[in-house]
Structure formats: structure tokens, C-alpha cells
Amino acid sequence: MYELFKNLGSWLVAGEQWTGPDGIGHRIAEHLQYSLLATLVAAAIALPVGLLIGHTGRGAFVAINLASFGRALPTVGLVVLVFLAGGLSMTPVYVALVALAVPSIVTNTYAGMTAVDPEVKDAARGQGMRGHQVLLRVEIPLALPLIMTGLRLALIQVVATATIAAYVSFGGLGRYVFDGLAQRDLVQVLGGAVLVAAVAVVLDLALSGLQRVLFRHRRAAV
């Protein structure tokens, strides 16, 4: 075990591992591209849905159950299905990653909206605020902690699962995992896993920092 981790350390710091199209820097950039784009698309779909059902109280049963169904979808199976239907491209990977991210964002956004005290909303309406003003000035700011939690969970899930891009011959950090398995190179497999975990931790810390900044400004405004 000691020898394995010693070899892993050598593999991670070797100069040749950080250069060229197969280098760690390039693979991290690819992995970030897949992960961030898929999460942004998922947020563009899921945030309006979560806000709408949380604000109106309508369609919650259908939306939450569809989100739960999305969680149950086997990611690799979905990639293969879309791959067979659409051919070799990144589309199957993005479809699978977006489908994975949407449920966390929808459910946490809805939970944040429903957690807002009804008396606070009634007070806002009593001050003459219209529906969209209550949504933008009261409900969303108060629901923001849970909304951000949903985005963080979705992003971490996507980063961990974006390794499937290598399953259909594309890049990202999954290349080290799949190539290492094919070559029976345990150091390369472990290196890919460690890098994926490191990227996930860094992104989670970045979102946590953004969340603290947003809340600090909100408290200052209040």
C-alpha cells in the first residue's frame, strides 16, 4: 500500500503528466467544461420549475415525482441509450449529466420556497407587493440557502459522474480511470479518482465561499 501511494505521488508531480493533450491540466479543463456546462443547463431548467411550484404551490406532486424518477435513472444506461439514438458525440454525456443534476436543484429549490414563513409573505403582500415582487424580494432571498445547497449537491454529483465522458471515448479525468483499467495500471486509476475528488472539493469550497459572500451582503442590506 505504501508503495502504491508513493508511486501515486510520483505520478501526480511528474512534469510529463502536466503537459500535452493527455496532461492533467488539459484533462481538468475538459472535466470542468463538461461539469460546469451540464450544471448550468440543469440550473436553467430546474430553478424556474422549483421556484414556480414553490411560489404557486401548483404541480408540486408531479414535479417532485419526476425529479425523483430522474434520480433513479442509471446514468451509464442513459448514456448508452442516447448514444445509440444519436451517434458518437458528447450529447449523450450532457443529457445524462443534466438529468442527474436536475432533481437536486428542483427539490432543494422547492423545499427552500416552502420553508418561507407564510406570515412573512402575507406581510409583504400587506405592504403592497405584487406576486412577482414577493417572489424576488422575499421568497428567493429567504430560500437562497437551500437553493445554493441544491446547486452544490448537483455540481458535486456531476463532477463525480462526468468521468463517463471517457466511456464514449471523450476526455476529462475519466480518461485516467478507463485507460488505467484497460492497461491494468492501478496508479493511473487511483490518480484519476484522486483528481476527480480534488476538483469536487475545490468547487464545493468555491460555492461555499460564494454562498457566504451572498449572505453577508444580504445581511448588510437588511
pLDDT in tens, 118-162: 888 888 887 878 877 888 888 888 888 899 999 999 999 899 888
Structural domain count, the chain: 1
Using alpha carbons only, how large is the chain's radius of gyration in Å? Answer: 21
Domain that residue 74 falls in: 2-221
Compute the mean pLDDT over every residue in the chain, rounded to the nearest whole number. 84
Give yes or no for a contact between 104 and 150, defined as CB atoms under 8 angstroms apart: yes
Domain of 143, CATH number, reads: 1.10.3720.10
Question: 72-123: per-residue pLDDT in tens?
Answer: 666 666 666 666 666 666 788 888 889 889 988 998 999 899 888 888 888 8
- Asked if residues 40 and 76 have their Cβ atoms less than 8 Å apart, the reply is no
pLDDT by residue (tens digit) across 158-208? 998 888 888 777 889 999 998 999 998 899 999 999 999 999 999 999 988
pLDDT, position 133? 82
Q: Give the pLDDT score at 221.
A: 47
Res 45: pLDDT: 93
Q: Which of 104, 113, 92 is nearest to 43 (CA)?
A: 104
At a CB cut-off of 8 Å and minimum separation 6, what does 17 contact? 11, 23, 24
